[in-house]
Amino acid sequence: MLGKILAIDDEIDMLSLLKRIIEGKTDYEVTVTPEPKRAIRLIQDTYFDLVLLDLKMPGMSGMEVLRKIKEIEPDTAVIIITAYGTIESAVEAMKIGAIDFITKPFKPEQILLTIQRTMDLQKLKRENKALKEELAKEKEADFIIGKSKVMQSIYRYILQVAKTSATVVISGESGTGKELVARALHHHSLRSSKPFVPVNCSAIPETLIESEFFGHVRGAFSGAIRDKIGLVEEANGGTLFLDEVSDLNLLMQTKLLRFLQDGEFRPVGSTKNKRADIRIIAATNRDLLELVKQGRFREDLYYRLNVISIHLPPLRDRREDIPILAHYFLEKYAKANKKSVKGFSQAAMSKLITRDWSGNIRELQNVIERAVIICQGEYIQASEIDPLTSLQSESSKEIWDIPLKKAKRRILVDFYHQYLTYVLRQCKGNVSEAAKICGVKRQYLHRLMKIANLKSSSFRE
Ligand SMILES: Nc1ncnc2c1ncn2[C@@H]1O[C@H](COP(=O)(O)OP(=O)(O)OP(=O)(O)O)[C@@H](O)[C@H]1O
Ligand SMILES: [Mg+2]
């Protein structure tokens, strides 16, 4: 992955020198600005791995900028560059969170070395963070909740087939738990100590897909400056999860089939084949067989993948699972938000059970998360379940008999009240933060709060 660097210095010459040195010798992308205020805006909009910061600038001091950067994006590394760099100011900067400093004038090799060291560290940190997130997901792997007959038999089936190396196709609408099932299969397999590598086949551009899967060697194409390991090799010994497999193009389908047949693949630009031992689990929310009939999915690949198939029914076809799932999510979000919500009122539960749930379990999870956040008492009320949709039905009774302008205002006031209550609860009455979430200016938010009769102090804890 390329890295992004931002250089801030009031001397334009220094900026162009830095850009030339770094872009000439590395593949990092360098953005420069002499304007501290603009730099802050850039950092708010884009993630930079590293900021090179001049300590002495007119307008805003380097220390101030450093503090701001650490506030906005603590993960961004900052290297101080200064001509007036006394040890004291450098030490102070390091206390605030700068990772290193360098004094002007400097030799190109010297600054490149410092940059490279920092960028390597950043990469390591990023990988560790990803690993931690991955681990948290692994731990969740087994929490497949559901007491319906169909979920029980799916769970038994998972335990039965997990230990084999057979490929599996998991089908089901969006949000039905396909990835969760894939993780559970990996978790219960003999490969569980090896990686589980998820790939969203629809998210990779066609031109990169072969190299993403199989890797490439240096010089394979312009931009391939070093050898790169592909996902297949990364997953070696473990499981490769092909999400949205129907989105693979026909050429990639052919290459994947070849790999599945003999366990060998060839990195782009290489002359040698490599081997990898992986189990493939594929997921789709389309009817693969129908795509086969239309000539958009290879029939031989379909049969090669579909050794075992698991179909997850939509939530509306297993409504008996809704109460237990709702409680599971309630506990999870009550804990996460430190709220003592104990359960659902009867009306709330029947609303949950009868709702459409076109977004399936993911939608249920989101609705419960919001309900927990806005819940005022110990039990979630029907009006707290998806307040914005209930708004129409609840106010609609009275609005038909009043003039349009008044009706519109009533709906709007209701809407502001519920929307802002939700946002303000999230940020505990901090209006600046709430304005940021809403994407409006603070003053405007204050005006809306007045219309909705809300006070920020009622949200402080
Ligand atoms: N049976 C279940 N028990 C508990 N949580 C579940 C269950 N099924 C799904 N979830 C949760 O619902 C969310 C959506 O599930 P998942 O990502 O596995 O769905 P998906 O079928 O892969 O969706 P998509 O097709 O949109 O990618 C996840 O947060 C998952 O943990
Ligand atoms: Mg998914």
Q: Are residues 335 and 254 in the same domain?
A: no
Q: What are phi and psi of 337, to 5 degrees?
A: -100, 10
Q: Are residues 283 and 152 in the same domain?
A: yes
Determine if ligand 1 sits within 6 Å of the CB of residue 179.
yes
Q: Are residues 355 and 393 in the same domain?
A: no
SS3 411: helix
Nearest ligand to the C-alpha of residue 170? 1
**Domain edge (last residue) among 76, 101, 127:** 127
Q: How far apart are CA 461 and CA 453, in angstroms?
A: 19
Q: Are residues 255 and 391 in the same domain?
A: no
Report the Cα 318 to chain-centroid distance in Å: 29
In a domain, 196, yes or no: yes
The confidence score (pLDDT) of residue 239 equals 97
In a domain, 140, yes or no: no
Bridge partners, 78 (sequence order):
51
Q: Are residues 226 and 364 in the same domain?
A: no
In a domain, 208, yes or no: yes
The confidence score (pLDDT) of residue 85 equals 56
Q: Are residues 299 and 448 in the same domain?
A: no
In a domain, 18, yes or no: yes
Q: Are residues 169 and 35 in the same domain?
A: no
Domain of 35: which CATH number?
3.40.50.2300
- Ligand 2 centroid distance, CA of 24 (Å): 40
Tokens 């309630």 map to which residue? 330
In a domain, 111, yes or no: yes
Q: Are residues 345 and 430 in the same domain?
A: no
Q: Which domain holds residue 33?
A: 4-127
Determine if ligand 1 sits within 6 Å of the CB of residue 365.
yes
Q: How many domains does the chain have?
A: 4
- Ligand 1 centroid distance, CA of 21 (Å): 47
Q: Are residues 170 and 208 in the same domain?
A: yes
Determine if ligand 1 sits within 6 Å of the CB of residue 94.
no
Prediction pTM value: 0.66
* Count of alpha carbons within 13 angstroms of residue 131, beta-carbon side: 8
N-term to C-term CA, the chain? 42
Q: Are residues 55 and 157 in the same domain?
A: no
- Ligand 1 centroid distance, CA of 163 (Å): 22
Q: Give me 31's structure tokens.
A: 């953005």
**Domain edge (last residue) among 328, 349, 379:** 379
Determine if ligand 1 sits within 6 Å of the CB of residue 178.
yes
In a domain, 103, yes or no: yes
Q: How far apart are CA 437 and CA 220, in angstroms?
A: 44
Domain of 335: which CATH number?
1.10.8.60
DSSP, residue by residue, 353-366 = HHS--TTHHHHHHH
The confidence score (pLDDT) of residue 390 equals 53
The confidence score (pLDDT) of residue 398 equals 60
Tally of helices (H runs) and strands (E runs) in the chain: 19, 14
CB of 420 closer than 8 Å to CB of 448? yes
CB of 280 closer than 8 Å to CB of 165? no
Task: Work out the angle at residue 60's Cα, subtended by the Cα atoms of residues 55 and 66, and round it to the nearest 5 degrees.
Answer: 55
Helix orientation angle between 149-162 and 178-187, rounded to the nearest 10 degrees = 40
Write down the H helix ranges in 288-381: 288-293, 299-305, 322-336, 346-354, 360-374
Could you tell which of 321, 362, 366 is best to mutate to test the pocket of ligand 1, judged by most ligand atoms within 8 Å of the CB? 362
Q: How far apart are CA 146 and CA 325, in angstroms?
A: 7
Bridge partners, 243 (sequence order):
200
In a domain, 139, yes or no: no
- Ligand 2 centroid distance, CA of 106 (Å): 50
The confidence score (pLDDT) of residue 393 equals 47
**Domain edge (last residue) among 127, 161, 177:** 127
Block means of pLDDT (10 residues each) for the chain, length 461 residues? 87 93 93 93 92 85 91 93 73 88 88 93 82 66 84 93 94 95 94 94 90 93 87 96 95 95 94 95 96 96 96 95 92 91 90 90 93 89 77 54 81 85 88 94 93 83 67
Determine if ligand 1 sits within 6 Å of the CB of residue 174.
yes
Q: Which atom of ligand 1 lies at the shortest distance from residue 285's CA?
A: 25
Q: Are residues 249 and 332 in the same domain?
A: no
Is the peptide bond prior to 74 cis by the omega test (within 30 degrees of 0)?
no
- What is the amino acid identity at position 427? C
Report the Cα 359 to chain-centroid distance in Å: 18
Q: Are residues 180 and 298 in the same domain?
A: yes
In a domain, 134, yes or no: no
